[in-house]
Amino acid sequence: MKSREAIFANIRKSLRTGGEDGKRRETVAARIEKHPRGIIPARGQKADRERLEVFRQTVEDAKASIVILGNKDDVPAAVAAYLRSKNLPQSVRHGEDERLSLIPWAKERTLEVTKGASDGAQLASVSYSFAAVAESGTLVMLSGADNPTTLNFLPDHHLVVVDEKDIAGDYESVWDRIRERLGANKMPRVVNWITGPSRSGDIEQTHLLGAHGPRSLHVLVVRSS
Amino acid sequence: MTQTVNSPHFKENARKALDDVFLQQALARSEKGFIERRKAAVEKLPEYDALRDSARDLKDHILAHLDLYLEVYEKNVIASGGHVHWATTAEEANEIILGICQRLNAKTVAKGKSMISEETGLNAYLKKHGIRPIETDLGEYIIQLRGETPSHLIAPALHVTKEQIEADFRRAHTGLPPERNLDEPTSLLAEARAMLREKFLAADVGITGANFLIAETGSSVIVTNEGNGDLTQTLAKAHIVISSIEKVVPTREDAATFLRLLARTASGLDLSVYTTFSTGARRAGDPDGPLEYHVVLLDNGRSNMLGGKFQDMLRCIRCGACMNHCPVFHAVGGHAYGWVYPGPMGAVLTPSLVGVEKGGQLPNASTFCGRCEEVCPVRIPLPKLMRNWREREFELHLQPAAARYGLGLWAAFARRPAIYRATTSLAMKFLRLFGGKGRFRALPLAGGWTRHRDFPAPQGETFQSLWRKRSQKR
Ligand code: SF4
């Protein structure tokens, strides 16, 4: 505790304030409560189908692949096709998310679907994203049993389903949705913003895909009817 | 045990760097990429400059209310089940982290990239106490194998060539077939990925830095392109965040403002691949994640910078752009600066944190070309702050020594006219790359000295020939 007090005392001394200054406290409390938005780039601020088109572009710019499906029932075939195209075994793992359980996986006879977190042994995982952001081609994943965080990072291939209606223009809209779901200042243990497959620029400053996280990221958008 | 300060030897360090063939190759390769990538990213975002202004104002607001935002942050970390530890000094931060590791009987610790842990010399400290730290960022891993420190904020192994990495891997990864082919960067990456995957799964504790701390929610934020920070913090029993106090931001919206600037300026991406907001430990029903979450908040001299001439430096978001665009950095590399932080930001921050006696000559390592300020996403007036340090030296009556240093540095360059010209022409090149409307406020390193003094006759073939080779490649 001594250090804590020393740090606060020194900050206040340097700022020449007593800390009990009511006006400063009000300013801080108001900013936290109102959480005003900053400058939001126009790029993502498009309506519906146009926003989807921006998202498709930004996802591809981030070196992920993307398919747009008319319907949830098309997901199994699209997953199987992706696995075939990468010469991968027909096997994926996903979490407890009800939206994933409702996908008719049995339509793909050879596709093995297991449930749970990853221990590093899986080559491909499927997650359902909470939201996405058109501005930068970003997927927003929340931790928990529905979509375990390890599925985002350990498998070589990460396949992510996102509903078209959940593609926001900007990050700020997604923060508001998280507030709606969890309460004013609450967060899940982890929020992962994922923008493209993992990469490293550490060998002679050339960007190479497939560092510690997935080597490739495949986004499956389910259109709103 | 903090990171040793070798900054008083800048002149010597710089001379060695200029003669280091490998280093010169590595530096020559990197500069253009950084500059062009940033330029392309910035051109794609019309709101970029407006974002910079608002980020600057927001940082100033935060610093003026730093005590209060830290209070809110602490309250919310605790409310979400995390622990906050305060450290006035580097030693104290190391002791706190060691204490947590020992309580958990940790044998190995996985580490995400953290400049604050470089500042405290954490790796050496843990090793001394029988705990093995493993750096997991590829660049950090490479330099850990080499027994070196980072030479750049976001590209720690900037100074290493591909051939050197291959040799390091062959030396360190002894279990693998010696005849394996490591010619391609991709095979080096694949080998590092496989080696580190085992380490992630075996580590007892994961330590990461933080790019931002969010007061509103008590969250810490890290950005990586590799995903190493996420594996580090997800797979271990405990996640320890080590951060300095000025990283706090009020809200999630405010974090978004800085995140829009950080990756674009640092690496030319719209956003880093992984931006991770961590709040507390594993929750009921979570199938994965750490069981404990700790934040160690380090001051180490920062609270003294508030309210003074160098407060602006605390706006820094560690993007690395100022060094990417610095002709001196590109001539001598990061290690010559002699402590943790290189380039223009290091030249200002180092004397603030380690004292003007040890770091005071770094502000002389500048051509005052002004590029650093022009690219800084939070508009830190770096050249002005470097000049402030010179004035401060005068006030502290350090001037004779400082002047000797400055002169000595100039002389080190002047004895090798190619270096002097190179530094100048490098700066010119940078200006051209940017559209050429820059200006020089002063001649590199010499100031008013040149009019009144004689200098030893030029010599130094080594650099000249090197420079010629380098120029031919452009
Ligand atoms: S001083 Fe500015 S340009 Fe340099 S690292 Fe800090 S934020 Fe980036």
- Domains of chain A (ranges; CATH) run 1-34 (no CATH), 42-224 (3.40.50.10420)
For residue A209, the cross-strand partners are A199
Residues lining ligand 1, Cβ inside 6 A: B 153, 316-322, 345, 375-378, 380
The answer to whether A161 and A75 have CB atoms below 8 angstroms apart is: yes
From the CA of A181, how many Å to the nearest CA of chain B? 14
pLDDT value at B279 more than 90: yes
Task: Please choose, from the candidates B353, B381, B366, B370, the residue with its C-alpha nearest in 3D space to the C-alpha of residue B441.
Answer: B370
Task: Please choose, from the candidates B433, B77, B375, the residue with its C-alpha nearest in 3D space to the C-alpha of residue B243.
Answer: B77
Distance CA A87, CA B372 (A): 48
Q: With contacts defined as CB-CB under 8 Å, which chain A residues touch B231?
A: 153-154, 212-213
pLDDT value at B352 more than 80: yes
Q: Which pLDDT score is estimated for A19?
A: 58
Q: Which pLDDT score is estimated for B422?
A: 53
Residue predicted with more confidence, A10 or B433 = A10
Tell me how far the alpha carbon of residue B330 lies from the centroid of ligand 1, in angstroms: 16
Distance CA B52, CA B237 (A): 39
| Mean pLDDT on B24-37 | 83
Q: With contacts defined as CB-CB under 8 Å, which chain B residues touch A216?
A: none
| Mean pLDDT on B317-333 | 91
Q: With contacts defined as CB-CB under 8 Å, which chain B residues touch A42?
A: 46-47
Q: Which pLDDT score is estimated for B346?
A: 92
Q: With contacts defined as CB-CB under 8 Å, which chain B residues touch A138?
A: 271, 275
Q: Which pLDDT score is estimated for B122?
A: 96
The answer to whether B197 and B187 have CB atoms below 8 angstroms apart is: no
User: Contact B256/A175, CB-based, under 8 Å?
Assistant: yes
Distance CA B125, CA A224 (A): 55
Structure tokens at A15: 């700022």
Domains and CATH numbers, chain B: 7-303 (3.40.50.10420), 414-473 (no CATH)
Q: Determine the Cα angle at B56 with ends B51 and B62, to 5°.
A: 120
**Residue B286 one-letter amino acid:** D
pLDDT digits (tens, 9 = 90+) for B413-456: 444 444 545 554 554 444 444 333 333 333 344 333 333 333 33
Task: Please choose, from the candidates A125, A174, A166, A178, the residue with its C-alpha nearest in 3D space to the C-alpha of residue A148.
Answer: A125
Q: Which pLDDT score is estimated for B394?
A: 67
- Quick one: what percent of chain B has pLDDT higher than 70? 82
Mean pLDDT (chain B, rounded): 84
Distance CA B14, CA B21 (A): 13
Q: Which pLDDT score is estimated for B53?
A: 98
Structure tokens at B17: 């760097």
Q: Does A182 touch chain B (CB under 8 A)?
A: no
Distance CA B200, CA B237 (A): 11
Report yes or no on whether pTM surpasses 0.90.
no
pLDDT value at B65 more than 80: yes
Task: Please choose, from the candidates A13, A2, A10, A15, the residue with its C-alpha nearest in 3D space to the C-alpha of residue B86.
Answer: A2
- The mean-pLDDT minimum among B81-85, B196-200, B283-287, B402-406 falls in B402-406
A8: nearest CA partner in chain B: B67
- Which residues of chain A from 98 to 117 reach within 8 Å of chain B, CB to CB? 116-117
Structure tokens at B406: 């400055």
SS3 string, chain B, reads CCCCCCHHHHHHHHHHHHHCHHHHHHHHHHHHHHHHHHHHHHHCCCCHHHHHHHHHHHHHHHHHCHHHHHHHHHHHHHHCCCEEEEECCHHHHHHHHHHHHHHCCCCEEEECCCHHHHHHCHHHHHHHCCCEEEECCHHHHHHHHHCCCCCCCCCCCCCCCHHHHHHHHHHHCCCCCCCCCCCCHHHHHHHHHHHHHHHHHHCCEEEECCCEEECCCCEEEEEECCCHHHHHHHHCCEEEEEEEHHHEECCHHHHHHHHHHHHHHHHCCCCCCEEEEECCCCCCCCCCCCCEEEEEEECCCHHHHCCCCCHHHHHCCCCCHHHHCCHHHHHHCCHHHCCCCCHHHHHHHHHHHHCHHHHCCHHHCCCCCCHHHHHCCCCCCHHHHHHHHHHHHHHCCCHHHHHHHHHHHHHHHHCCHHHHHHHHHHHHHHHHHCCCCCCCCCCCCCCCHHHCCCCCCCCCHHHHHHHHHHHHHC
Taking the CA atoms of B79, B82, B83 and B84 in sequence, report the sign of the dihedral they define.
Answer: negative
Q: How confident is the model at residue A154 (pLDDT cuts 50, 70, 90)?
A: very high
Tell me how far the alpha carbon of residue A64 lies from the centroid of ligand 1, in angstroms: 29
Most confidently predicted of B28-42, B56-70, B194-208: B56-70
Q: Which pLDDT score is estimated for B474?
A: 40
User: Contact A185/B216, CB-based, under 8 Å?
Assistant: yes
How far the first Cα of chain A sits from its last, in Å, is 58
Distance CA A184, CA A180 (A): 7
pLDDT value at B94 more than 70: yes
User: Contact B228/A145, CB-based, under 8 Å?
Assistant: no
Structure tokens at A34: 């109102």
| Mean pLDDT on A146-161 | 96
pLDDT digits (tens, 9 = 90+) for A18-58: 756 789 999 999 999 999 999 999 999 999 899 999 999 99
Distance CA B123, CA A184 (A): 38
User: Contact B287/A14, CB-based, under 8 Å?
Assistant: no
pLDDT value at B214 more than 70: yes
Tell me how far the alpha carbon of residue B317 lies from the centroid of ligand 1, in angstroms: 6
Q: Which pLDDT score is estimated for A220?
A: 98
Rounded CA Rg of chain A: 21
Give the CB-side neighbour count of residue B187, counting CA atoms within 13 A: 11
Q: Determine the Cα angle at B306 with ends B304 and B309, to 5°.
A: 95
DSSP assignment of chain A:
-HHHHHHHHHHHHHHT--S--HHHHHHHHHHHHH-------GGG---HHHHHHHHHHHHHHTT-EEEEESSGGGHHHHHHHHHHHTT--SEEEE-S-HHHHTS-GGGSTT-EEEES---S--SEEEEE-SEEETTTTEEEEE-SSSS-HHHHHSSSEEEEEEEGGGEESSHHHHHHHHHHHH-TT---SEEEEE-SS-EE-TTTT--EE-SSS-SEEEEEEEPP-
pLDDT value at B405 more than 60: no
**Residue B79 one-letter amino acid:** A
Taking the CA atoms of B412, B417, B422 and B423 in sequence, report the sign of the dihedral they define.
Answer: positive
Tell me how far the alpha carbon of residue A20 lies from the centroid of ligand 1, in angstroms: 33
Distance CA B3, CA B117 (A): 9
Strands B292-298 and B83-87: parallel
- Which residues of chain A from 30 to 69 reach within 8 Å of chain B, CB to CB? 31-32, 35-43, 58, 61-62
User: Contact A195/B270, CB-based, under 8 Å?
Assistant: yes
pLDDT value at A194 more than 50: yes
User: Contact B270/A136, CB-based, under 8 Å?
Assistant: yes
Tokens 């990171």 correspond to: B3
User: Contact B303/A198, CB-based, under 8 Å?
Assistant: no
How far the first Cα of chain B sits from its last, in Å, is 43
Q: With contacts defined as CB-CB under 8 Å, which chain A residues touch B47?
A: 39-42
Question: Which ipTM value was assigned to this complex?
Answer: 0.97
Q: Determine which residue's CA is closest to atom 7 belonging to ligand 1.
A: B316
Mutation site, B193, B271, B297, B313, interface A, largest A CB count within 10 A: B271
pLDDT digits (tens, 9 = 90+) for B145-192: 999 888 888 888 888 888 999 999 999 999 899 999 999 889 999 898
Q: Which pLDDT score is estimated for B23?
A: 87
pLDDT digits (tens, 9 = 90+) for A90-130: 999 999 999 999 999 999 999 999 999 999 889 999 999 99
Mean pLDDT (chain A, rounded): 95
Neighbours of A163 (CB within 10 A): 17
